[in-house]
Structure 1
Amino acid sequence: MDHFPIFLAVQGRRIVVSGGGETALAKLRLLLKTTARITVFAETPEDGLSALAAERRITLVSRALGPGDALCAALFYAANDDPAEDARVARLARADGALVNWVDNLENSAFITPAIVDRDPVTIAIGTEGAAPVLARAIKADLEERLPVSLGLAARVGKAFRKAADALPMGRKRREFWAEYYFNTAPQAIEKQGEAGLEPALHDLLARHLAEAPTRGRVDMVGAGPGDPELLTLKARRLLDRADVVIHDRLVAPAILELARREAILIDAGKQGFGPAMAQDEICALMVEHAAQGAHVVRLKGGDPSVFGRLDEEIAALDAAGLDWSVVPGITASSAAAAQIGQSLTKRDRNSALRILTGHDMKGFAEQDWRGLARPGTVAAIYMGARGARFIQGRLMMHGASPDTSVTAVENAARSDARTIATTLGRLASDLEDAAPTGPVILLYGLAPRWAEAALPRQSADLKEEFA
């Protein structure tokens, strides 16, 4: 992000524009929506500028900008449609201490003006850092259609009522009040009685919310999926947007955490195999503590909460505390990894069963039914298996598994930085050591990527390099 979006207070402050043509008028159509004091410098102003000056909406100075003319200006626009003149006035404005926008010259501008959806006081700014103005306009048009004109009226009345609403406790209780106002009460009141119906409706709504019992806290165990935000369920996204507290695992991608409310408390409860970890008892205590105080807690887990997510231990702690909870499934890593390599986890005449294993548990490398796994045609998804690859390789081969059995390691499945390492059981440990993955890895035992299964004329080393 090269441009940080902010909303600048301009009430009563100077905004200066240099230019007398259509470019200057285009900027003024937007600037005149503000409560700033606007001054325009133009040697030969168009009629539209003169008309605005006659209406006292702008101060028009019929000469070129000179030294000191941009003093105390919050913003300055160079809009002369003349590169040499725009360079000159931009230099003068910078010397006067103003933030300068040189129209259609991103490199020499200290700020840019976004596309704006105006439902005053609700304002939505859309910027593409100059990369795609057409896209910004398309997004603006879409939002204009979605947001009713009455939204601004509801927001203005609601703004004046905020002090009265402070009688409600901070957090979830107050958010529920405002959500009901904007999405139910206000539209209905405007439709029936217009603006006159808004304030009485607000008072009635506040009285009802004050009379209600305090909101009980709850915990939702939510699957974050393999890391791609687009693979979140709709329910998971909705709960993230509502949560007061998000207790998340190490494997939850930053892009998914970005979907939480800005005011939400984010707590990293990550565990790392053979590395630093927050004790499970401490995680359970955190969930109970926050929910008991009335917070809506989202326990956000990578993949699916029910697959190696210690879900039962956390549910038991919530039940013991008498707290409400729910489980929201997520796409688990084995499904994402199989999709990554173009394979299905089960296939007629290949395998009628799928085994889901963990490479290690609380006691270290996990023992499994190695003899059963070593049988030809077995397909298994092995979670947390990268560090124990040599152990897994040895156990399987000791029980008769062929060294030529296909194994595919998928790192960061379904993410933009995903990596696929196609190998065999006999080369598994050495190939993983060479690849040195740093992200979460799932091993798909008995599966090769579809292109490798089709016996394309490529060597193992080439395959690894192409998918690195």
Structure 2
Amino acid sequence: MKHFPVFLAVEGRRIVVSGGGEAALAKLRLLLKTEARITVVAATPIGEVTALAAERRLTLIKRAMEPGDAICASLFYAANDDDAEDARVTALAQADGALTNWVDNLGQSQFITPAIVDRDPVTVAIGTEGAAPVLARSIKADLEARLPRALGTLARAGKAFRGAVEALPIGRKRRAFWSEYYDSVGPETFDKAGEAGLRKSLEDLLAKHIFAKTQAGHVTFVGAGPGDPELLTIKARRALHEADVVIHDRLVTPEVLELARREALIIDAGKEGFGPSMKQT
């Protein structure tokens, strides 16, 4: 991985775009979905950019970029469709301390913008490190079709209820609550009663989980097969995803172990001739 995927907090922070043509407008359509303060620097912006400024959705500076224009900017986009000008403004922005993206120039960019599926506050980012943007768009289209439009509404209701869920202990019980909400109770309630019914369904579900008896721990044996994670059964993948502890031998591949939860305890119990091994008692 040459690019580490992160979600950057931009609420109330500056994002500067140099350029006022179609390339800049394409970036602005995405950036304007955020709560950042957008500034566009362009000597001759097209009508759509000027209209956005008139609607006070962004700040427009009608001139070529100068030193200091990107001071305090969290991100900077060079989108002039002119290599010489994009090189000049990128150097200025980096001197101002901003992370820079040169549109359609991966080698000169300090960060890249992935394809995005927006179900605010649920956001799915798809990146191919510039190797296959058409593939990224194909995956995005597939996810757009699969993810329900109500997902964002369910997530917002869940976020507002997070404080109440602290009544459940961290770990398995809390995960079980959220799994049941997002997998069944939430979607079913939304279909029947809409957003107005979600709060009551969350309260009822929380009461159910608070008074439910704690289930005893159990062990699930999973065969890893020849090592290809795509050959695992659905039940095996689910077991790995839900496990608190995963104990494996040396024949299990890293690709299979990637399916475990990040928070799970991974224990290597494998043995190798004349090598390190775990004692058996």
Q: What range describes the TM-score normalised by the shorter chain of this pair?
A: over 0.9
Deviating 4+ runs (over 3 angstroms)? none
Rounded Cα–Cα distance in structure 1 between residues aligned with 2:228 and 2:200: 45
Measured against aligned partners, the alpha-carbon deviations of 1:64-93 in whole angstroms (never above 9, x if no partner) come to 110000000000000000000000000000
Query: Residue 215 of structure 1: CA displacement?
Result: 2.1
Rounded Cα–Cα distance in structure 2 between residues aligned with 1:111 and 1:137: 18
Aligned to 1:52: 52
Query: Residue 273 of structure 1: CA displacement?
Result: 2.9
Measured against aligned partners, the alpha-carbon deviations of 1:240-295 in whole angstroms (never above 9, x if no partner) come to 011111011122111111110111111111111343321232xxxxxxxxxxxxxx
Query: Residue 233 of structure 1: CA displacement?
Result: 2.0
Aligned to 2:106: 106
AA in 2 matched with 1:171: G
Give TM-score scaled by structure 2 length: 0.98
Rounded Cα–Cα distance in structure 1 between residues aligned with 2:231 and 2:150: 34
Q: What RMSD over aligned residues (CA atoms) do the two structures have, in Å?
A: 0.9
Q: Does 1:9 align with 2:4?
A: no
Measured against aligned partners, the alpha-carbon deviations of 1:86-114 in whole angstroms (never above 9, x if no partner) come to 00000000000000000000000000000
State the number of aligned residues: 281
Q: Does 1:28 align with 2:28?
A: yes
Measured against aligned partners, the alpha-carbon deviations of 1:16-36 in whole angstroms (never above 9, x if no partner) come to 000010000000000001000
Aligned to 1:73: 73
Q: Percent identity?
A: 72
Aligned to 1:204: 204
Query: Residue 188 of structure 1: CA displacement?
Result: 1.3
The structure number with the bigger radius of gyration is: 1
Aligned to 1:250: 250
Measured against aligned partners, the alpha-carbon deviations of 1:204-261 in whole angstroms (never above 9, x if no partner) come to 0000110100122100011111222222222211110111110111221111111101
Gaps of 5+ in 1: 282-468
Of residues 111-120 and 234-243 in structure 1, the stretch that sits farther from structure 2 once superposed is 234-243
Q: Does 1:38 align with 2:30?
A: no
Aligned to 2:213: 213
Rounded Cα–Cα distance in structure 2 between residues aligned with 1:50 and 1:215: 61
Rounded Cα–Cα distance in structure 1 between residues aligned with 2:77 and 2:279: 57
Measured against aligned partners, the alpha-carbon deviations of 1:117-141 in whole angstroms (never above 9, x if no partner) come to 0000100000000000000000000
AA in 1 matched with 2:75: L
Give TM-score scaled by structure 1 length: 0.59
- Native 8 Å contact 1:115 1:127 kept in 2: yes
Gaps of 5+ in 2: none
Rounded Cα–Cα distance in structure 1 between residues aligned with 2:17 and 2:275: 59
AA in 2 matched with 1:152: G
Aligned to 1:238: 238
- Native 8 Å contact 1:117 1:125 kept in 2: yes
Rounded Cα–Cα distance in structure 1 between residues aligned with 2:94 and 2:253: 42
AA in 2 matched with 1:110: Q
Query: Residue 190 of structure 1: CA displacement?
Result: 1.0
Aligned to 1:175: 175
AA in 2 matched with 1:105: N
Measured against aligned partners, the alpha-carbon deviations of 1:330-361 in whole angstroms (never above 9, x if no partner) come to xxxxxxxxxxxxxxxxxxxxxxxxxxxxxxxx
- Native 8 Å contact 1:173 1:215 kept in 2: no
Aligned to 2:19: 19
Q: Residue 222 of structure 2 aligns to a residue in which SS?
A: strand
AA in 2 matched with 1:180: E
